[in-house]
Structure 1
Amino acid sequence: MTADLTADALLDLAPVVPVVVIDDAEAAVPLAAALVAGGLPVIEVTLRTPAALAAIERIAAQVPDAVVGAGTIVRPQDAADAAAAGSRFLVSPGCTPALREAMTATGLPFLPGVSSASEAMALLEHGITALKFFPAEAAGGTAYLKSLGGPLPGVRFCPTGGITPASAPDYLALPNVGCVGGSWLTPADAVKDGDWDRIRALAAEAAALRTR
């Protein structure tokens, strides 16, 4: 299904992409399995902890139905390390020319982060049409994304940052939004306690948010 995954196709795999912070690599496999069982196969593991790369390796090797990627790609080396760990895609909070080149060099689909029309246009010049909109709520939310639809009709977004189960449907209703990123799927206490049933239930609720 994902052998020839593109960034644009990535936006259509699930309505919500869990944005996951993993402190203990031992939790990675059961956490990913719970998300997949709930109907969310695309999982973004943020490179914010020392355990992140090991977590990606374990998910890639042991949860075959998961499409695991790396988020918080902020340096060129992050892109290379994430690819080596088995990431299927990359996500960055922003983008510079050097980071764009590094992510392109991995051969993986990637969602570079933007928060303005100018940033989106700079990436569009390189043929990049699938973007992360971050930080979504702080940068203008659904009203801002709706306004970008007119001048940039060929660009689609995965908004992330401050999105909740209540606001997600409003984002998903926009024609230039393919999916949203959310951190509410994996509450820290549920991960710490190994409450995979709770995480599976949250994933199932999110999977049902697709409005079209």
Structure 2
Amino acid sequence: MRILIADDHTIVRQGVKMLLTEAYPLAEITDVSDSASVIRNASATKWDVIICDISMPPGDSGLEAIKKIKEHAPKTPVLILSMHAPDQYALRAIKAGAMGYLNKGVATLELVTAVNRVMSGKKYLSEDVAYILADAVEQKHDHSIEHLSDREFEVFKLLASGKSVSDISKQLNLSTNTISTFRLRVFEKMGFRNNLELIKYAIDNKIVN
């Protein structure tokens, strides 16, 4: 059994590795710290499951990483393990090709169950995630964040947290012109007239604190 863990926080990787080693003592477990490494490993080696974070700067987000992993290894199950609440990223992760979405806050209780399920070829959907997916089917309305692409949503969150275009450019390793284009698309799709409206929307919808 081969497991690949991708997270930019060393303590998280160590904790996940300990949990999995206890559950699967004979497993070969490898951990990496960024999206480029997880994509490279996914294309070079066969894995039974890949456990991946959403935010792994710099470079591609976990969502982009999922898509690239699926290009190289379409049959490898990917389980997202994130600090972000499911209502922010779960639907996007599943659409990108993930087999499950798990919040780090409950990982100790649910991780092994989730790994077993996705390795059996089934999706792992917690009650919260299942509700979000069902709600997304029922509620289709204008100016929804679901209309944003994954990269647009990432830029939206960073803008809402108070980061400037140049800050975001450095974090995502993209040009300022590219970030400005994403910002413009966010404003057009969401109907924002200024940053204040963007930040207010993010706070009201609990996208940022």
Task: With the length of structure 1 as denominator, give the TM-score of the two structures.
Answer: 0.35
Q: Which has the higher strand share?
A: 1
> Considering only CA atoms, is the larger Rg found in Structure 1 or Structure 2?
2
Q: Which has the higher helix share?
A: 2
Task: With the length of structure 2 as denominator, give the TM-score of the two structures.
Answer: 0.36
Relative contact order (alpha carbons < 8 A, sep ≥ 6): 1 or 2 greater? 1
